[in-house]
Chain A
Amino acid sequence: MTDDMLCDECGERPAEIQLTTIEESEMKTHHLCAVCASEKGVSSSPSAKAPLVDFLAQLGKAEHQESSREPSEPCPYCGTTAADFRRTGRLGCAECWAHFDSRLRGLVRRLQGSAQHVGKLYVHSGSEIGDRLAELAGMRRRLQRAIETEDFETAADLRDRIRDLEASD
């Protein structure tokens, strides 16, 4: 989803709603933020993005009202917060899907009309290189977090294990 596009009307807020009009048989597409769209009396119901905006707005309110409850903690893996997600509409990593699970489930159901994947199934049937790369990547990530949180004991242990794994080429 493109989030860098600004509202045609105010030029300040990100455009969330695509409004199509026909003027003198030329199609025109306007990109509006939710505020300018509602000022123009545009109902956003058929837009795909509208549920996302609605949901994100609710997320904001909920966080305000229930700040003692979830999800004030950022994703433990990548550090993405609910506010980040609200701002960008993007999750930071695969773990965000687990971390924000309860909220995402509702959003996904509203956006997609379903929350159950029925398409291709995927099991990575362990190509050796793939497994090792994934393991290494995960360990490097944990190492970085250990360093950030000054957990040097874990960091040293991870560093050695990464070195061993890399050396087993």
Chain B
Amino acid sequence: MRDGGSLDGRGIAWLAGGGDEGEIVLSTRVRLARNLQGFPFPIRAGVEDSGRILDRARVAIEASDSLREATVWKIDDLDQTDRGLLLERHLVSRDLVERQEGEPAFAALALAADDDLGVMVNEEDHLRLQAFNAGFDLDRAWRRVDRLDEEIGAVLPYAFHHEFGFLTSCPTNVGTGLRASVLIHLPGLVLTKEITKVLEGISQVGLTYRGLHGEGSEVVGNLFQLSNQTTLGKTEEELVDHLDRVTGKVIDYERSARSVLVKEAPTVLEDKVWRAYGILRTARSLSTQEMLNLMSGLRLGVSLKLIRTPSVRTLNEILVLGQTAHRSRAVGGSLDAAEADVARAAFVRERLAAEDESTGTDGPNGERN
């Protein structure tokens, strides 16, 4: 186990893309909420208890096979930009890095050397064990986090109740403490206005959705996080399988919607994709929201082969590295909103131009003007 250090390149392996259904499902994650016996939950824990919880978590992390080589960052030791980096990379929740004044310190993140397994310490619960991977692979994420859970739970006694299961601070997490989610891109369903029906259907079968940055975040760029709504009364495998099956159906619906668009409105579709590309390739100022929305058009175009570049990797990289904290870190300072928009536009222009050059074309599809 290592303490702190640079965040450069950490936790972004999934940006390389790939994985099952990688063009529609960006990433998959499974997390387990766990609390230790004998300590109040973080909302009630004072400084001393929070420190002891982190100490114990470190003992268990060090003792585990899965996280022996992990790096542990204390959130207090990170500046605002670094905290933003973690958030933009989806490694932590807003709750963990945006501590209110008076809230206990000792919030921390442990991240495995291979970046696809981690623990948030002293978030809403003492421990949030999480596994992530690129594309659509719930089974792998579940198996990894389950194994980590066995290892940590063998060292630290968890708060467990024979009826309520694993006890959590919020009753919406109790039982398995499991939240499985997929980050999925659904522009076809949004453009065909089928999305409301699909989202209603999802909520009727016990699933829910959120925006890019999880709980309470806006849906932007047609990116949805689908996850299980309930955590009690079903086994972990049932919860994971259910999300797996429903996501499979949503992918099918999205594909059909795209086919309809290609068939019924090819010009509108093509125009949308190329306009998105045109703005991204030339704009001098881009807000995060505008970037995410335009990137959705471009991603759709790449997926439908209406446009040849950029690659999925570049699409993913722009999505994450184009956000404000990443742009701030790139210039070694902190940018105000207007400066960030300018820096973001420059970054996007460069990345898209580089891809065109490296593929040896003057423009996508090799078109020469």
- Which A residues are within 8 Å of any B CB, using their own CB? 1-2, 4-5, 15, 18, 20, 22, 25-29, 31, 46, 48, 52, 77-80, 88-94, 97, 104, 107-108, 111-120, 122, 124-125, 127, 129-131, 133-138, 140-141
Contacts and interface: CB of A to CB of B under 8 A. Distances in A.
Interface in B309-331: none
B253 to A, nearest CB: 15
A5 B360 CA distance: 48
Nearest to A129: B155
Contact of A137 (B39, B176, B218, B236): B39
A107 B172 CA distance: 10
A29 B165 CA distance: 33
A27 B195 contact: yes
B161 A93 contact: no
Interface stretch (B17-25, B225-233, B241-249, B332-340): B225-233
A104 B232 CA distance: 13
Interface size of B as a range: 35 or more
Contact of B176 (A88, A115, A120, A134): A120
Contacts of B199: 20
Contacts of A4: 100
B43 A113 contact: no
A52 B169 CA distance: 14
Contacts of A113: 206, 230, 232-233
A93 B230 contact: no
A119 B159 contact: no
A47 B52 CA distance: 37
Contacts of B170: 1, 89-91
B203 interface: yes
Given A77-B40, A118-B233, A2 B216 contact: yes
Given A20-B199, A113-B230, A118-B234, A93 B41 contact: yes
Interface stretch (B30-38, B299-307, B351-359): B30-38
Contacts of B195: 22, 27
Contacts of A5: 216
